[in-house]
Amino acid sequence: MTQTNEEFTSLLLVDDDTTFCGVLSSALTKRGFNVCVANSVEQAIPLAEANSPEFAVVDLKMNGASGLVLVKKLHELDPHTRIVVLTGYASITTAVEAIKLGATQYLAKPANADEIVAAFKHIPDDNAPLHTHAIPIENLTWEHIQRVLHENDDNVSATARALNMHRRTLQRKLGKRLS
């Protein structure tokens, strides 16, 4: 039996970072996938309902609904869809939740196309330990500070209050990382 690209390699890529989507879409297309891109869960659901993808790459945190909502919907539409969840805010809690909802694998950003394709080949095993890319605690802390800083419109004083941290301590952390 001959396999055609449309039948067996459809891939739904969902991320609100349009530049990232463009680069990853191109890389995955070169690897034989027929890529359809959406920039939100709300855009992706009708696409998936119209043509359930064989594979999906879903960002966890996007504007609008969480990528976990889409993981659940994709799994409901077709339990055989191979779903890789990508996130810049990796945590054991969200990794476990993503796997429970039907994700095949959970990867921390930045992940390249080869890592994503390898993750599609992962066979979920309920008894196996959960593997994600190890992220140093310093990186997680930095990402959290950057997210809170962004949420406070780059206001260092407001960010320090939100983090329950002294303003000068936050300024030192920001200065060390940027130098």
Superfamily of domain 5-120: Response regulator (3.40.50.2300)
CATH of 137-178, one of 1.20.120.1760, 1.10.10.60, 3.30.470.30, 3.40.1010.10: 1.10.10.60
Q: What is the pLDDT of residue 82?
A: 93
- 81: helix, coil or strand? coil
Greater confidence (16 vs 149) lies with 16
- Does pLDDT of 144 surpass 70? yes
For residue 143, with 0-12 CB atoms within 10 Å meaning exposed, 13-18 middle and 19 or more buried, which class applies? middle
- Where does the chain hold its CATH 3.40.50.2300 domain(s)? 5-120
pLDDT at 154: 85
* pLDDT score of 84: 93
Residue 51 has pLDDT above 60, yes or no: yes
Per cent of the chain over pLDDT 90 is 35
Whether the pLDDT of residue 101 is over 60: the answer is yes
